[in-house]
């Protein structure tokens, strides 16, 4: 499941699989262990924490959006609607699709529901 693609802007730290990395969520102060190769959201869920909202777990719904404040990671495929290139450039990514390469500090601000509606798009173009 968690097959990480190298993220465009981050270099691969080359850590061996199976190593534990520490992820800290800044707003709640909660911190949890994440195996390299495991998504941040999955590691959080496994340890019973709720500091990031859990949606589809597939990079599609944007529910688990976080900002990475420090550390290196690789990313899997994420919906461009929720992570356009500008957001990725600012390390605004989806916790279900990032895989730590070093210890990470992330921040998950509670989303205003209205904010999700501003990004309107139509699905009628280029659908073939």
Partner 1 sequence: MKKGVMRPGHVQIRVLDMDEAVKHYSDLLGLIEMDRDDQGRVYLKAWTEVDKFSVVLREADEPGMDFMAFKCLSEEVVDQLRGELAAFGCEIEDVPEGELKDCGRRVRFIAPTGHAFEIFATKKQTGKWGVGNHNPEAWPRGLEGMKATRFDHCLLYGPNLDETLNLFRDVLGFDLAEQVIAPDGKRVAQFLTVSTKAHDIAFIHHEEPGKFHHASFFLETWQDVLKAADLLSMTDTSIDIGPTRHGLTHGQTIYFFDPSGNRNEVFAGGDYHYPDHEPVTWDAEELGKAIFYHDRALNERFLSVLT
CB of 104 to partner 1, least distance (A): 22
Distance from C-alpha of 31 to C-alpha of 4, rounded to nearest angstrom: 22
| CA dist list (Å): 77 to 9, 20, 57, 58 | 14, 23, 12, 8
Whose structure tokens read 């605004």? 92
Does 43 bind ligand FES (CB under 6 A)? Our answer is no
Does 42 bind ligand FES (CB under 6 A)? Our answer is no
Does 94 bind ligand FES (CB under 6 A)? Our answer is yes
Integer-rounded Cα radius of gyration of the chain: 14
Does 63 bind ligand FES (CB under 6 A)? Our answer is yes
CB of 55 to partner 1, least distance (A): 4
Instruction: Find the helix or strand (DSSP H, E) in which 86 lies.
Output: helix 85-89
Q: Which of 21, 36, 59, 68 binds ligand FES (CB under 6 A)?
A: 59
Q: Which of residues 51-110 bind partner 1 (CB under 8 A)?
A: 53-61, 63, 77-82
The burial of 118, by beta-carbon neighbours within 10 Å (0-12 exposed, 13-18 middle, 19 or more buried), is given as exposed
Q: Which is nearer to ligand FES, 37 or 58 (CB)?
A: 58
Binding site for ligand FES (CB under 6 A): 54-64, 94, 96
């Amino acid at each position: 499941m968690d097959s990480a693609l190298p993220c465009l802007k981050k270099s691969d730290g080359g850590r061996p699989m199976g190593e534990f990395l520490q992820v800290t969520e800044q707003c709640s102060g909660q911190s949890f262990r994440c195996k390299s190769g495991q998504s941040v959201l999955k590691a959080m869920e496994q340890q019973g924490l709720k500091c990031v909202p859990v949606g589809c777990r597939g990079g599609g719904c944007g529910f688990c959006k976080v900002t990475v404040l420090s550390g290196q990671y690789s990313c899997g495929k994420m919906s461009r609607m929720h992570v356009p290139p500008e957001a990725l450039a600012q390390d605004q990514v989806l916790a279900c699709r990032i895989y730590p390469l070093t210890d990470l500090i992330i921040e998950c601000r509670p989303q205003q529901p209205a904010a999700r509606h501003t990004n309107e798009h139509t699905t009628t173009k280029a659908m073939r």
